[in-house]
Amino acid sequence: MSFGLMAHEPHGGVLKDLHVRDAHLQDCLRAESETLRSLVLTERQLCDLELILNGGFSPLEGFMTEDDYLSVLETLRLKSGILFPLPVTLDISQQDLADLSIAVGDRVALRDPRNDDALAIISVEDIYKFDKVKEANLAFGADDPAHPAVAYLRNHVKDLYIGGKVQAVQPLVHYDYVALRYTPAELRAHFKKLAWRKVVAFQTRNPMHRAHRELTVRAARQRSANVLIHPVVGLTKPGDVDHYTRVRAYQALMPKYPNGMAHLALLPLAMRMAGPREAVWHAIIRKNFGASHFIVGRDHAGPGKNSAGEDFYGPYDAQELVAKYQEELAIEMVPFQMVTYIPSLEEYHPVDEDPVPKGTATLNISGTELRSRLKNGTAIPEWFSYPDVVKTLRESYPPRVKQGFVIFLTGLYNSGKDAVARALQVTLNQQGGRSVTLLLGETIGSESSSNPSDLALSVDAHNANLQRIAFVSAELARAGAAVIVSTIAPFEVSRQAARKHVLSSAGPGANFFLLHISTPLEHNEKMDRKGNYIRARKGEIPGFIGVDVPYEEPKSADIVADLSQQSVPYTVNNVILLLETNGLV
């Protein structure tokens, strides 16, 4: 099927580039924004706003009102009847709404959380409550927290949505890969300059390898088209390779394309991992950016397994939904072809077009196996990926023995955790290979957890300080350091939050081990030469953990050590063995 020039029309017929539309008002809007109440956007809202303002979400000119929101959920269409499969909404808490006294008819500045710049002004047309369960079931197919968008909806989206059109005050400022960031108008102009009439867009949130290059080159040649590599660099699935590493890998791959065939541009999209609906959304976005064809993969934008261990979406659900609306989308779908490597031919073979003869040896490496090979430093063969791409990935994801980690010691005051931490620091320094940092005490900067003012912190202060320690630990571990934390950390919820932060933020250093120094309270009091327990029992140190405030024992420590029964060297040796078992030393 050929769509001719229709493929180059934006969705809805007009590219809604609000920066161009509002350029003549920019000085007035900037001055007005300084007089208005403000909402500081979340990271997802920031991604959404950027694509509203530059026309990537055409025909949207703002965040959805209730009529549009419900229509999109129930019919995959805006109230006007134009196809649009996912809601784009601006959430706000009831408390913030009250504090800011926002009402229908108001104008509110929308600010960048990175620098507090006013990016747009929304004219509030609607403020409405919504049903999170309904949104989860209709938009994502299930109200299942195993789905990352449902988890986000449950845990981060506020009570109300604000709907209304926006005016552009100024574009977002990016400091990374600026030359690769195009608005729809800019990318369309680039295609026009190069006389590219047919463009096959390829969506990805993962590094690309030889099979992806083979797939996209084959798709382009079959259609006498060029290729747009259009990876997402906004919010993707938790646990994905960070976008800095991915873009360097894409840049290493681009010279492998035939000269003049392909172009790389970045898309600041906050993905929802909504499978079939998201595939239609992606097609609309690529249409707005000037593509005539769009590759839709098997289980396109799927989030993986649900709580029952089954795939959220069928492997071809996305392709079927895009095909259903293809005439209306006016962008030609290119189904993702499965390819496998045949070593005897030294080439990739499209198994969907031509099944491999029975008995023919084939080779494949799954994404899971690739991550394992990167993590463990195992060889990645050249038939799978290009050496330059692998080198780039290894720079960001070093083998286990070069990765950072966090050893988190928790226990009562005077339990011996500080002695274990210091001994462990000496042992790891002796081994060499990475820097070792010791964070000792209830607050960063304390030389010892025996500081009485630290021992009498409130519950909120304990939690806040622990999150600061977790932040510093994650940053150090990301850089490859061994981080040893010794702190009372009396509350399970704050310990779990610290673990979660390290695992989600430390990149290749996301290795976290919890050591519970379980020495009994009676022994700790008996050996307390500084008399802090005595002072606490006299009421001189109120809020003392173990006396006034109970210590919550960890539910899932990696090591439990009672130093009234075992020595510090024995405990340190157990830690080293744990690290060796995990390939870290």
| Residue from 205, 248, 286, 373 carrying the catalytic annotation | 205
- d(C-alpha 61, C-alpha 51), whole Å: 10
The verdict on whether 205 is a catalytic residue reads yes
Query: Could you tell me the two tokens for 415?
Result: 């339990």
Query: Could you tell me the two tokens for 66?
Result: 């209730």
| Residue from 42, 204, 443, 524 carrying the catalytic annotation | 204
Residue 25 identity (one-letter amino acid): L
- d(C-alpha 160, C-alpha 564), whole Å: 54
Neighbours of 14 (CB within 10 A): 11
- d(C-alpha 251, C-alpha 264), whole Å: 8
- d(C-alpha 85, C-alpha 104), whole Å: 26
The verdict on whether 272 is a catalytic residue reads no
**Which of these, 169, 2, 170, 164, lies nearest to 88 by C-alpha position?**
164
Residue with tokens 């020595």: 567
The verdict on whether 306 is a catalytic residue reads no
| Residue from 206, 340, 427, 582 carrying the catalytic annotation | 206
Give, as one character, the DSSP assignment of residue 80.
T
Strands (E) across 90-203 are located at 90-92, 107-111, 118-123, 126-129, 160-168, 199-202
**Which of these, 511, 518, 512, 524, lies nearest to 560 by C-alpha position?**
518
Residues in the chain: 585
- d(C-alpha 67, C-alpha 130), whole Å: 11
Strands (E) across 160-242 are located at 160-168, 199-202, 226-229
- d(C-alpha 533, C-alpha 108), whole Å: 54
Query: Could you tell me the two tokens for 443?
Result: 């607050």
Coil, strand or helix at 416 = coil
Neighbours of 37 (CB within 10 A): 12
Which residues are designated catalytic?
Answer: 204-206
